[in-house]
Structure 1
């Protein structure tokens, strides 16, 4: 009995000595298994920034060749569907980073290490396969309700001492001790990243509400009060009329059209210029607008069969792109000024359609 007890007591040492020769004692293979909360925090942190990075790069690349893509993103479901589609690519980025650097930021800060079942470091293909299984078995494809069920299932497995289903028989996730400083750094970064995600989601919800409210509305018919000509105006625009003091004992009417998302403004206005030449009038106009605008590219050309003056530039703050055109018509100098905030591709089509419609109310073809 005594001999058997001694042999039993020595059994763990015998098993440890049977481990692969390359495995250094006290390193990953002998560390405790990571807890469910550690894995969730590290995984959530990595997925958020990796998916965001992929979405930013992919969105910029697609929008550069298909500007209409940005308008689709602003639809109630556009951004959400695009985000879901970017999750697999984010997980592929995760596998590549892990294979090259040996870990990812979230795992490194919390001391987590993913190892093969035999204790070796997994290769890219193995990590990519693991992340694919994680995508549907742990993240529920990113679908809001399904992800709650799959994450709860995996959490129960881990709390019960069993591996996650996507790790079973293939991988071990070990946790090495980390100090308070690393935990604090991770906590701060986690909260900042979570706050950014929540803020972006709130902004997306607001945009969705505005666009959803505009979508059912029919195209509006706007009538130019001076010419009496009616033109169609897209429901994305909110029309307003303002009386502006020109500083020379005369007021002018400004017809202002603001894109409901606040990314573009189009102004239609006119001044009585009598027999003043177009160059003289535009010089006076630039003196009035010079405090707010920097218009560097100026030219005189033909527009709808009439001489016109056109310029482009930016607002004084440099954050707004500005285009201006002036056309004399029957003693009045009409102008259309477009102001856009980046990305310009998001509103270019809307701005061109509205500008053409406004000029149609002045100079019908």
Structure 2
């Protein structure tokens, strides 16, 4: 497996485009991903009980196990918009299907932006009509799905499976209202691998649990979040089966793409200056280790300490204690970077100057050793800054 320069349309048989239609003042705000043949598909969705209209439409579309296009708009979430919002989401699906000459049921719909505003459907329809289904501009699609993000998030890898080149590409948006299951994020993954929708769904659920569901920015879970995967088989490899070398290779590629996108979202948290990575080792079981890691990275006190470059390990062990993970309160070790600040739950003397250098870094690694098992859990987040309050205080205006 190797990382390559590319886009969400890098796998064979995919195309993407994005435009500005007027949902946002200037920036691109509508786009689609298109496969030239129906693709095997899988998806996971927000666990928020208040779910936006596009979630309803896409859940219905994905039931067949195939998709051929994904239509996305930013600037308007089409959430809490009642029956009209549902009708608008179906209309978007219908317009896109007609433009691309594909089945309406093979079109997924996604939206992100302000909750509680009706979509201006004339503008949306004109935007859909302006998209280029022959050549496209996938970089424009990367931009069209953003809201408060400060950079586009994409990753492309390729590898050999059964002697043939297979590509997996991912793109995501997400910056605030991030606390999966799922986060305030949209993520789309394309591949030219050949794999059944059933196995793809199993893989997506497994990988979401240890990647996208292990990031947090502010503790809020959005109404619109989804991850969709499309596999169109254009690489012409034999169908990937569970418990084979081909599956192992594909799983590694898929995990790398998912984890990379998750970390990019965490790094781009609204107002963030630092990425926080928490690794819990020697936990009793994997779920317990992940729970502890997620609580540490999600703690507002830990996040503000990292922003202030304060080595306040007391906030870390406190979060471990209320995480719900099984712990021995007398055996916990904690490291900030490579500097040990706690050993067997007892404070350690450390070089203050070296610690200052550690905390000035853009990526802060926290390791918590529970010493009660062999399981590991990872989580990612960001610091909590004054800028976060400013961004969200002015979000609607």
**Which structure shows the higher helix fraction?**
1
Same fold (TM > 0.5)? no
More strand by share: 2
User: Greater CA radius of gyration, 1 or 2?
Assistant: 1
Task: Please state which band the TM-score falls in when normalised by the shorter chain.
Answer: under 0.3
- TM-score where L is the length of structure 1: 0.24
